[in-house]
Amino acid sequence: MAVKTIITEPNKILRQVSKPVAMVSESEQKLMDDMLDTMYAAKGIGLAAIQIGIPKRVIVMDISKDQDKNEPMYFVNPIIKNKNIEKSIYEEGCLSVPGQFAEVERPSKCEVEYLDYHGQKKILKAEGLLATCIQHEMDHLEGILFIDYLSKLKKSMIIKKLSKLKNNEDRVVL
Q: Which residues sit at the interface with Ni ion, rule CB under 5 A? A: 94
Please tell me the number of Cα atoms within 13 Å of 124 on its side-chain side. 20
Residue of 4, 130, 132, 134 that binds ligand GNR (CB under 6 A): 132
93 binds ligand GNR (CB under 6 A): yes
Helix (H) or strand (E) holding 125: strand 121-127
Neighbours of 135 (CB within 10 A): 20
> Which residue of 44, 49, 54, 158 would you call a contact of ligand GNR, by CB under 6 A?
44
Residues 6+ apart with CB under 8 A from 7: 13, 14, 50, 51, 52, 53, 96
Which of 7/157 has CB closer to ligand GNR?
7
Catalytic hit among 28, 71, 137, 169? 137
- Residue type for position 124: L
Minimum Å gap between C-beta 73 and ligand GNR is 13
Of these, 38, 60, 76, 90, which contacts ligand GNR (CB under 6 A)? 90
Task: Mark 59-69 as b/e (b = at least 16 C-beta within 10 Å).
Answer: bbbbeeeeeee
86 or 91: whose CB is closer to ligand GNR? Answer: 91
Interface with ligand GNR by CB under 6 A: which residues?
Answer: 44-48, 51, 90, 92-96, 132-133, 136-137, 140
